[in-house]
Amino acid sequence: MKHALAIMVGAALILLLATLTLVAMPYVQMSAEAVPEALEPYTTAQQRGRDIYIANGCLYCHSQQPRDAGFSRADSERGWGRPSVPGDYAFDQPHLLGTMRTGPDLFNIGARQPSVDWHLLHLYNPRAVVEDSIMPAYRFLFRVVDEPQENQHVVKIPDPYGPESGVVVATREALELTAYLLSLDHTYPADTLPRAKAADEEGEG
């Protein structure tokens, strides 16, 4: 009985230590992180688009965390922008950092591709804008109609990527997902940028 009690107490202490180390301490550390002044909360449409992004598994193929040049210069050479900092994710619940790069990093896709029509076309048929893209088409986010209504957003589809007849219009979900993608613009300055390069230079000195 004493051995069982000791095991239970030991397991509880290990669980408590793990919780403090992996949950409590990072939360306290990140809560003190400076939030960039130019970072704005998501609008209602952008938040709904973010939910659609999650529901369709976009984070399984796209990351949102450009790396510091001290680790790899490839990200900056690809034009993905400055390395991300903790404050950039202040309004992200949950975080969508991603671990795979089957597709490009999207941390600054709103700055690289600021066109609504580009994103809608890309969602409807990725091959229409990136010839060798392996991204699946999200045509279920669109409708084909004979006569679009005045309040519908018509997507201009170049041949031969469009339907045989009718015109393609974006659903509310497609427009909200696009609104979220356009919100991914972190080109503002950040006060807590990594200083890996400076550290390397000090080490060389």
Distance CA 28, CA 86 (A): 13
Pairing of strands 153-155, 167-170: antiparallel
Distance CA 179, CA 182 (A): 5
Quick: pLDDT tens for 148-189.
999 999 999 999 999 999 999 999 999 999 999 999 999 998
pLDDT-based confidence at 198, cuts 50/70/90? very low
Distance CA 57, CA 14 (A): 34
Per-residue confidence (pLDDT) for residue 192, from 0 to 100: 62
189 vs 72, higher pLDDT: 189
The strand order across the sheet containing 142-145 reads 142-145, 167-170, 153-155
Return the domain boundaries, the chain. Answer: 1-32, 42-189
Instruction: Say which CATH architecture domain 42-189 belongs to.
Output: Orthogonal Bundle (1.10)
72 vs 83, higher pLDDT: 83
Distances (CA, A) of 194 to 79, 97, 169, 200, 203: 18, 17, 43, 12, 16
Quick: pLDDT tens for 40-69.
999 999 999 999 999 999 999 999 999 888
Residue 200 has pLDDT above 50, yes or no: no
- Which H or E run contains 154? strand 153-155
Per-residue confidence (pLDDT) for residue 5, from 0 to 100: 79
